[in-house]
Structure 1
């Protein structure tokens, strides 16, 4: 999806677009953790606003990435919105809010496919688990001399484990109670 910024600025009415994108090669080359990309659909509008072009689009699709725990493929659903302003290079940005995403356009060309790919990468969570791993249906990984335990198991182990210094105090209190009787 490539557009000319000057052409979009000439439009009096919003430009509606609906596209299916094949971003697999681009995304896999940029991020090796992405195993597959499926059904990327973009539906949105390009609107002239504040001397710039606002592109607002809804992106849906699926990506496959490895689980953080088991490295098994996990299918992640994508459904997010992109709102980005595009301005000519050298334009003053004072008229935009600090929270607005404003991108400077070089050579009068907007490559919105690249913006979609960038935003897909931003949607990938730091930790990814399969539904089975989340529900505890899959055992935690183990190896020779190590094992992965959940935070809950760690907390339970810490509450059961008695600090040796406190154990000596407990014995001391117990012996004092026996002497006083």
Structure 2
């Protein structure tokens, strides 16, 4: 289950080992993220390439996660289709061979276990904003007694001079904008 010995992987020297597996990580992910209501088993596919003494994993994860709407808390099924690339270093000194933005993970045992990567990448791929179809298509935002939902543009702070009942509005124009340094000479 997405776990290979280093000895096995070395046999694929410069030839990719392909994997295609379905894993159930629902319980672990629900424990780590209480917003997850339900989750289908994860379909993980990809390749592992042994090159330069290290192991590069190029994988895809597909699942369906049920999350609460961020607006109404109604359960919404969200498809997850996530691609990831990670390099597992057999020796940490190899890190200078890679680009700065490459994901590098030192191997700490004689096994390459992709389950932590699957779980972490799934959690990272969850959207922050989840809406039902009706909420996505709504023209007006919800409101209630003494409250209303606003867009970011509507919630932008209003400059003090444009606010109604501004106690400093009467002072506007009383001082010149050039500054007082010129009068002190």
Note whether the superposition's TM-score is higher than 0.5.
yes
Bin for the TM-score computed over the shorter chain: 0.7 to 0.9
Partner of 1:97: 99
What secondary structure does 2:118 align onto?
A: helix
Aligned to 2:110: 108
Asked whether the 8 Å contact 1:50–1:95 carries over to 2, the reply is no
Equivalent positions of 1:71-86 (< 5 A) are 71-86=73-88
**Structure 2: 5+ residue stretches without partners:** 157-161, 171-185
**What number of residue pairs does the alignment pair up?**
164
1:1-181 matches, within 5 Å, as 1-12=2-13, 13-88=15-90, 90-136=92-138, 140=142, 142=144, 144-151=145-152, 163-164=164-165
TM-score by length of 2: 0.75
After superposition, the CA RMSD in angstroms is 2.8
Compute the TM-score of the two structures, normalised by the length of structure 1.
Answer: 0.77
Contact 2:60 2:83 in 1 (8 A): yes
- Give 1:9 deviation, angstroms: 2.3
Which sections of structure 1, spanning at least 5 residues, go unmatched? Answer: 156-160, 170-181
Task: Supply the distance in 2 between the matched residues of 1:162 and 1:130 (Cα, whole angstroms).
Answer: 36
Larger helix share, 1 or 2:
1
Tell me if structure 1 keeps the 8 A contact 2:141–2:150: no
